[in-house]
Structure 1
């Protein structure tokens, strides 16, 4: 009977991994229930879901989904955060939560993004990135810069011609 429960749990984890963009692993030992509940709410708002699962069951789910298994960070009591939307947003939530001195018990261990295993420093680097919307705005402005320069150059020629014709008109009016 307990084996069936474990199979169901692995299947539940696999379903979560199907929809995931990234998975972050952290140690939460020493956090109060209120703090972990607060963190779960913030992660949910950022597009992720935190689950406490047995390391062996999560490892089986990762292997069955052909995802890399970060053996070195999957020891001890871990909370697994499956990110459904923007990994940067969830990493920012973790970084912000860790900055508070009362949350020093929360330790980011690393994660998985695509086929890459991330260490804690790389997850921190993700948190330092601008949000997806800011990155898109930067790309659009980079693409638009040459176009606006072209418009300026082309309008400059027309503006120069208009100024020249205006001056000729003024000279002819003065001569008449």
Structure 2
């Protein structure tokens, strides 16, 4: 890798770090190509990315970003799982780690709204993975907003339905 390629890789990583909501650092000790492909496909489906990078280049890219605290975790063969949704990358990584003993979660960081990032250890990443995703939260909010209107419509239709049943019963009684 020459200087231009290294500079491009650092710029790409810096851009990624500035636009994502979470970064999870993992260690892959001898994963096969098939396992890596499965992980990348699962990440893509969740709207996240997984990238293996040179540690020195990643440390350079971390400089000037909210994720500067991740520099200490970048030792050995690591991969970086990132996503804009703060939960997506953590969920995929935790699920993948359950079925693969050669894949280890080292830690991560979660970007805060006010700026800066909160460092996460293994327990923090696992706790983050148990939270609902942004899409799930949006669906719950929409459900909560729609529920009163649905209940109101049901309540207002109930008296009309009762009157219709009473009239139908009278009509059947007169016909008999």
Q: Distance in 2 between matches of 1:138 and 1:52?
A: 35
Q: How many residues align?
A: 159
Deviation at 1:63, TM superposition (A): 0.8
Distance 1:69 1:59 in 2: 10
Corresponding residue number in structure 1 for 2:90: 91
Which of structures 1 and 2 has the bigger CA Rg? 1
Give how far 1:11 is off.
1.1
Deviation track 1:138-162 (CA, whole Å, cap 9, x = no partner) reads 345556778889999xx8xxx9xxx
How far apart, in 2, do the equivalents of 1:89 and 1:67 lie? Answer: 18
Per the normalisation by structure 1, the TM-score is 0.72
Stretch deviating more after TM superposition (131-140 or 121-130): 131-140
Q: CA deviation at 1:60?
A: 1.1
Q: Say what the alpha-carbon RMSD is for the aligned residues.
A: 3.0
> Which residue is 1:20 aligned to?
20
Describe how 1:135-174 pairs up with structure 2 within 5 A: 135-140=137-142
TM-score with structure 2 length normalisation?
A: 0.72
Residues 133/48 of structure 1: CA separation in 2 closer, same or farther (3 Å cut): closer
* 1:1-176 alignment runs, 5 A limit: 2-83=2-83, 85-100=84-99, 103-114=100-111, 115-140=117-142
Cα separation, 1, equivalents of 2:33 and 2:41: 12
Is there any run of 5+ residues in structure 2 with no aligned partner, and where? 112-116, 160-176
Q: CA deviation at 1:54?
A: 1.3
Distance 2:50 2:9 in 1: 15
| Counterpart for residue 164 of structure 2 | none
Distance 1:10 1:71 in 2: 14
